[in-house]
Each structure stands twice: as C-alpha cells, then as structure tokens.
C-alpha cells in the first residue's frame, strides 16, 4: 500500500530500542512522574499501562511512531485498530485543517455528518440509517437502548468474556475468570466492583459456539430479552469468529423470541469493505460502529434498519432521547469521510493479502521455534492463540493463554526490536502505509523475539501489565 512514505525502523538486536527509554534521564520517566501527580495511575486509559512506566509518543507519520526518546517503531497497534490509514495521513489532515479554520463544533447541524452517513448506508447492506456519537462504548450503549425501546423489554444477552465498551450492561461478564465464571451450562454474569448488583439478573451470559446451551438460556429469558449482543470477530477471544451454524442458530432464536440481534463492529468493521457481518453472512438488526469511521478522531455510531432506528426519531415520539455536545461534529465527520472514501475494495483486497502474510508468517515462526499456537484473524487484523487448533470459546482461550506465557513475552520482546505491540500480546492491525517491507521486518522481529524468549530466562525489559488487556 505505502501511500505515505516513511523510513522503516530497524529491527536489530543491539542497541535495543528500550535502552534510552529505561535510562535514568529518560523523558518517558519524567513524564510519567508528572502524570502520577495529576491522574490516578498516571493515565486515562488502562491500555497504556506498562512497567516500569509507559513509553510516551512524540509523533506519528505513516506507519511509524517516534517516542520522546527519539526511537522509531513500526506501529502494529494503530491506536488499538482505529487508525487504518496510519498516522497523519496528509490528505485527511489537510481536510481537517480546512474544517478547523471554519469552526470545530456548532449548536446547528452541518452537512458533514450527512455525507459520512450516506457513505456508510451505501456501503453497509444491513443498515438504512445512522446516528453518531463519540465512542464505540456509546455506540453499543445506544444500540442496547434502541433495542429496549423497540421491544419494550429490559434484559440483554451477551457472550462470556467479550468486551463491548464501558457501559455497565455491555461490560458485565467481561471480568469472567475461573474463580467466578460458574458452570459452563449456565455461565455466571460477573461484575466489577463498580457495577450494580442488579445486573446479575438483567444480563444473561452465553457461552460462544454452544448452540444447545445458548438456545436453552434464550428460551428461558426470551419473554424479557431485548437483544443479544454479538461481536463477529471478538478480540477477547483471539479474533476467532463464531461458527456459521452457531450464528444462524442465534439469529433464528432471536427472531423466534422477538429479541434483536446487535452486532458490535466497533473493531471488526475494518476487515471488509462492507463490514464484518457482511463478510460472515450475518444479518443484524442493529450494528455499533466506531474506531476507523472517525478517521483518527473520537467517534461512535449506531446503525440499523429504519423500522428500528425510528426509536430515535423525535417526530415519532422520541422513544430514545439522545443528545451529545460533540455528536456529528464536523472535525470527526470530515476525517471519517475522507478516511472511508479511500478504503476501496482494492485496499481491502491488499489487506487480505498482507494479513495472510502476517498470519502465515507468524504460524511458521512459531512452528520453527517449537511453540504450539494458532495465528488467527481476518483481513487487516491478526492475533495468536496457544494450542494446536483454534479454541471454541472464551474459557478455552483464557485457559490456553494462562498456560502459554511465552507468547506474551515474544510480543514484549518485539518492542525491543522496533515493533510497537499492544497489551494483548501478539495482536495487531495493519494500516495502508504498510507493504511487504514492513511485513518482512515484522516477521524478522518475531523470529528473533521467539528465538530470544526460547533461549532466555530473563524477562523482557519493558512490560505492559495485564490490566490493559480488556479493550476495544
């Protein structure tokens, strides 16, 4: 792709790219000490947590991020998948600069959100209308509230371990662990201390890919069930899509009991020109969007068929009241439009090719070093889960990861070799500035990291903490 040319960071063993970051006079250390005084834990999102402190970014261009120590790394996180054109795309930033010169937000509508909505409606076959917000969490929240308004019911069902943002109902069961997750035939709805205990009866937790158990639970709660929330490619489950027969069964069950099917495509929308549900043959009633549709700015959306989306229509009684000072603001809308119009079918075909190179290459690297694991994902998203075959559900993924710490160590070691990876381990997202040269460097770094981890008992020198693992 390489539509923004930048030099590629070296992936060598010495000097290691965290040496300056760990120095006594490191700028990152100084910034973190300042942050601790004014922010709890020194941050505003747990996905940035690292020991002994985070690496602070200074700039980003194309697929390269430069930290405050002057170290360049190839970015395979892309702000947790939200930057599909890479950093500071010149045509997007130019369009944004023009908008800023005319005003960033108004208490009047502008044409900008209409254009982005028209593009999304034309592109996504399972939606008629869109309503914008400012985060993926809001997109999921609005979808759930729309489902309640449309059905007159209150309960929702979601799949164990899947992350859908920070709305209480959506985040329930995100904290499932062996000590609290209950029996597999009736998974417990687990809660964080900040959540109301009443959620235990308002959220039904389902096991992914178990048609019999899910069918029985939906039958049991069907009269009170407003919606089932499903991610077509859940990151928390190692980017393993639900089985096609399972999806068909859930779709049939929701129709049978009168509940809506909500697809959370905040992250997975980037795998196909028409979205993840289209790629997997899913027909949702509502879809939640975010990340790439904002072109690098905060964004969220709920979209769906007109007969469901009418719950937001003030002319029909406004069943769901939805304000928001920055909803549809022109800066985000223009950045999103300029980004999305550049994502043509040819771009997604190239993502498929490069993504397959990453997945196949990682599979070969791990095999060569005697590490039993499966490379997963679709299109521009990739991940690695332990084991000799893809696990079927969250419990299998969690158990496999807890017994294979070497994969996390490999991802951490790649930070020392000029690759920017996130807290999920060997999980990442491609961007259009990347081409075969960047994939070659990535696989070279993975090979070196796997060799280093297999032969070394020392921990990697910079360590993202597990507290940042649950994220969109």
d(C-alpha 316, C-alpha 310), whole Å = 7
Q: How far is CA 137 from CA 165, 284, 288, 347, 410, in A?
A: 4, 18, 9, 27, 30
Listed residue (363, 360, 354) closest to 63, CA to CA: 354
174-194, pLDDT tens digit by residue? 989 999 999 999 999 999 999
Write the CB contacts of 95 (distance below 8 Å, at least 6 apart in sequence): 334, 335, 338
Q: What are the helix and strand counts (H, E) for the chain?
A: 16, 18
d(C-alpha 49, C-alpha 44), whole Å = 10
| Section 113-141 average pLDDT | 98
292-306, pLDDT tens digit by residue? 999 999 999 999 999
| Section 352-375 average pLDDT | 96
Q: Where are the domains of the chain?
A: 27-75+344-468, 90-340
The CATH fold of domain 90-340: 3.40.640
Place of tokens 């063993």: 13
Portion of the chain with pLDDT greater than 70, in percent: 93
337 has pLDDT over 90: yes
Structure tokens at 469: 């693992």
Res 456: pLDDT: 64
Is the overall model pTM greater than 0.85, yes or no? Answer: yes
Place of tokens 């089932």: 228
Angle of helix 436-455 relative to helix 406-415, nearest 10 degrees, comes to 120
Mean pLDDT of the chain: 92
Structure tokens at 316: 């029909």
Listed residue (169, 135, 173) closest to 154, CA to CA: 169
151 has pLDDT over 80: yes
The CATH-assigned architecture of domain 27-75+344-468 is: Alpha-Beta Complex (3.90)
Instruction: Assess contact for 430 and 351: CB atoms under 8 A.
Output: yes
Listed residue (287, 283, 248) closest to 264, CA to CA: 287
DSSP state of 87: B
| Section 434-460 average pLDDT | 87
């Amino acid at each position: 792709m390489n539509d923004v040319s930048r030099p590629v960071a070296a992936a060598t063993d010495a000097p290691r790219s965290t040496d300056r970051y760990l120095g006594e006079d490191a700028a990152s250390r100084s910034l973190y000490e300042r942050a601790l005084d004014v922010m709890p834990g020194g941050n505003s999102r747990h996905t940035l947590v690292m020991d002994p402190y985070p690496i602070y970014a200074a700039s980003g261009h194309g697929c390269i991020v430069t930290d405050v120590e002057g170290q360049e790394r190839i970015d395979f996180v892309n702000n947790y998948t939200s930057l599909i054109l890479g950093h500071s795309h010149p045509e997007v930033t130019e369009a944004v600069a023009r908008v800023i010169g005319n005003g960033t937000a108004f208490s009047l509508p502008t044409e900008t959100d209409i254009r982005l909505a028209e593009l999304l409606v034309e592109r996504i076959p399972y939606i008629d209308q869109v309503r914008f917000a400012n985060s993926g969490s809001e997109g999921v929240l609005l979808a759930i509230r729309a489902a309640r308004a449309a059905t007159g019911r209150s309960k929702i069902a979601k799949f164990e371990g899947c992350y859908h943002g920070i709305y209480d109902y959506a985040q329930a069961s995100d904290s499932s662990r062996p000590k609290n997750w209950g029996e597999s035939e009736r998974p417990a709805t687990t809660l964080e201390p900040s959540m109301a205990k009443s959620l235990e009866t308002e959220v039904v937790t389902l096991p992914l890919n178990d048609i019999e158990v899910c069918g029985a639970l939906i039958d049991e709660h069907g009269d009170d069930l407003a919606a089932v929330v499903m991610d077509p490619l859940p990151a928390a489950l190692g980017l393993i899509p639900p089985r096609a027969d399972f999806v068909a069964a859930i779709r049939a069950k929701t129709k049978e009991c009168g509940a809506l099917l909500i697809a959370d495509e905040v992250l997975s929308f980037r795998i196909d020109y028409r979205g993840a549900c289209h790629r997997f043959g899913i027909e949702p009633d509502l879809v939640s969007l975010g990340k790439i549709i904002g072109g690098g700015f905060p964004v969220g959306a709920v979209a769906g068929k007109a007969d469901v989306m009418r719950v937001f229509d003030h002319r029909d009684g406004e069943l769901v009241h939805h304000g928001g000072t920055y909803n549809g603001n022109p800066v985000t809308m223009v950045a999103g439009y300029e980004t999305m119009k550049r994502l043509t079918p040819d771009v997604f075909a190239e993502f498929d090719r490069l993504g397959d190179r990453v997945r196949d290459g990682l599979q070969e690297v791990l095999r060569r070093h005697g590490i039993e694991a499966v490379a997963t994902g679709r299109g521009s998203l990739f991940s690695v889960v332990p084991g000799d075959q893809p696990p079927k559900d969250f419990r299998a993924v969690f158990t496999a990861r807890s017994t294979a710490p070497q994969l996390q160590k490999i991802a951490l070691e790649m930070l020392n070799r000029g690759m920017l990876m996130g807290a999920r381990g060997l999980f990442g997202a491609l961007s259009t500035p990347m081409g075969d040269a960047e994939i070659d460097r990535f696989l070279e770094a993975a090979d070196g990291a796997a060799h280093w981890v297999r032969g070394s008992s020392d921990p990697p020198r910079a360590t993202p903490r597990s507290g940042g693992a649950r994220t969109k």
